Amino acid sequence: MGCLGSAFSALRYGAVLCACNMMLAGAAAAETVTVAALGDSLTQGYGLPPEDGFVPQMEAWLRDRGADVEMINAGVSGDTTAGGLSRVEWTLTPEVDAMIVALGGNDFLRGVDPAVSRANLDGILKAAEDKGVKVLLVGMIASSNYGAEFKQAFDAMYPELAEAYGVPLYDAFFEGLEVGEDTAGAARRLMQPDGIHPNGEGVALIVEAMGPSVLALVESVE
């Protein structure tokens, strides 16, 4: 092969090598999984320093366990399932690979008909399904303030929707705060003075309990 041919081969090899390197770099960059946390004040981190909120603590927990993940705080204080439904389309931007849906607490506090809350959650899950975004649905447990029928319908909508859409369910946002018989003591120690929102220590326990489910969500992203 002459000099010209050798030069051409070298250039062609260099171009192929460059293209391969670019593809590898792109693949490496694509490994980061972006998770949006769609929720209310519990997700948003109401009353807490930014670093103590649910999203920063969950992101740190996941990274400590080797997950290449970036979390987006899509929590809005006071939001209901209706608010989540109104925001879901612009929350599901092209870079979002997975989504935690943690809504319904404010619906219960306002006595919203569970059928309405269920329809809103259904719309959120449908939007995620249409975009091929993986979802972890986080449930809430109602008290009996509005009667047994309301509680039954409210509590049931989460497992029923999770089954209908084939998405994993984390039973209750506050599950990590179960402390046996010391309910009153836990409320004082792990909650803010309003008795509704967890403090930083409470969030850490919530994250520790929910973390494995979120890690499974991240790992399910292809």
Q: Annotated catalytic sites, by residue?
A: 41, 194, 197
Q: Tell me which residue of 153, 95, 93 sits closest to 121, measured CA to CA.
A: 153
Q: Tell me which residue of 118, 117, 83, 125 sits closest to 100, measured CA to CA.
A: 125
CA contacts within 13 A on the Cβ side of 43: 26
Please, which residues have CB within 8 angstroms of residue 26's CB and are 6 or more apart in sequence? none
Secondary structure percentages of the chain, helix, strand, coil, to 5: 60, 15, 30
How far is residue 173's CA from residue 78's CA, in Å, rounded to a whole number? 16
